[in-house]
Amino acid sequence: MKSKVYYLLCFMFLISLFSFRGYEKEKSAEAVWFDIVHPQKKINYYIEADLNGKVLMREILDNKIVVRRGIIKKMYVKDFIREVKNSEIISEQNEKDSKMMFYKGEMINLSAYINGELKRISSPMYRFSEAFKFAFSELKKQILNIKPDKMPPSAFIRAVPLTGENLDNFNKRISSGYELKTIETKILRQNMHIFKAINEPYRIFPVDTDEDVIKISDYISENKLFGMKSLFYIGTTRGNFECSVFDAK
């Protein structure tokens, strides 16, 4: 009898452990993701890479979207992630430098998990060390060697925390006193594209088929989320988010 009770308690402990974890970052490999923008030169692209060498790049060239996905040598990702971790700019995590408000040069908006914590930084590229810029350049070269997707995904989805300028824009669109309804984890998991996007803010996730895009739209309607497919808002136990679904081709 005692042994049965013991195993039952162990079982219940394991169930509570997984329940407590909720929806944490699904750790397949250490990764970084970032946007590079340069308004004057009309540069605008996104890159992500993990320690397994898996990479993705979405680039806008002459109003045309080019998507590259593939595998590169792990050493290039490893070198870049090392420089990310060594960067004082990222460890300080001053997300936006007020002195750079009117800066129009090359900017990097970078996210990375460091020691289990998500770091987010927006900074002019010139502020980074030469070692960082060299590692970035080598990483980018390897990704550009990958041929563009012949069959890119139907769309991408991204979630960003509803703070700062995003929150200001949201407040302008809603009536006074409106509060986002909190979607519980169980309901959130009913659409894994939205779930993954909220798990890793600022990262873009491919929505491979038109059917999947429709499912996102249906999810928004069924849960009465504020907004529409291309831009909607969602309250979760991890905070409030602005989600966008945008073209991949």
What are the domain boundaries of the chain? 31-144, 155-247
Tell me the C-alpha distance between 228 and 140, whole Å.
Answer: 34
Superfamily per CATH, domain 31-144 = Mago nashi (3.30.1560.10)
Residue 93 pLDDT: 54
Q: Which of 10-24, 83-97, 214-228 bottoms out in mean pLDDT, i.e. has the lowest?
A: 10-24
Instruction: Check residue 92 and give its pLDDT.
Output: 67
What residue type is 199 in one-letter code? Answer: N
Q: Model's pTM, two decimal places?
A: 0.82
Q: Is the pLDDT of residue 17 over 70?
A: no
- Look at residue 14 and tell me whether its pLDDT is greater than 50: no
Top-confidence residue, 229 or 22: 229
Q: What pLDDT was estimated at residue 54?
A: 96
Rounded mean pLDDT, 77-83: 95
Asked if the model's pLDDT at residue 24 lies above 90, the reply is: no
- Please write the tens of the pLDDT for every residue from 49-59: 999 999 999 99
Checking if the pLDDT of 10 tops 70, the result is no
- Which of 93-102, 124-133, 162-171, 178-187 comes out lowest in average pLDDT? 93-102
Name the region of 202 (left: φ>0; alpha: ψ -120 to 50; beta: rest).
Answer: left
What's the rounded mean pLDDT across residues 167-181? 83
Contacts 24+ apart (CB under 8 A), 172-177: 174/226
